Amino acid sequence: MRVMVLFSIHPIGEGVHVGAHVARAVAVIRASGLEHQLGPSGTTIVGAWDEVFACIKACHAELARDTERVSSLIKVDQWEALGPGSIAAKVARVEARTEPATRRARRKLARRPRRRGREG
């Protein structure tokens, strides 16, 4: 079973600056060899269910070495058609549609009458 997982990990009780902890988790993900893409609020990982979740478990184990509590948010997209390059391909498909959609949205917004604020 192939999955694309959006995963974010948070050490609890370590303050608001957790970049060093997150970097350790990203190192575990990179070492796994799984396809992944780091994002501003999480990392997308693609692979077989068991491999992806073993990687997430390893990330938790890495942070739990010196953090009392670790929390994660996980979103799973199960899709058997996922293969190598799936992350880049999905992004490219959306990007290809972005410019035409943006032009349509701009035309639509330009046709709307502008509302004036209430004067007091």
**What's the pLDDT tens digit per position in 61-117?**
999 999 999 999 999 999 877 777 788 888 888 888 888 888 888 888 888 777 766
Which of 17-31, 40-54, 80-94 is the least confident region?
80-94
Tokens of 68: 């009392």
Q: What is the mean pLDDT of residues 37-41?
A: 94
For residue 117, the model assigns a pLDDT of: 66
User: d(Cα 28, Cα 32) in Å, to the nearest integer?
Assistant: 6
pLDDT at 120 over 60: no
Is residue 63 a contact partner of residue 9, using CB atoms and an 8 Å limit?
A: yes
3-state helix, strand, coil in the chain (%, to 5): 45, 30, 25
For residue 57, the model assigns a pLDDT of: 98
Fold of 2-82: Alpha-Beta Plaits (3.30.70)
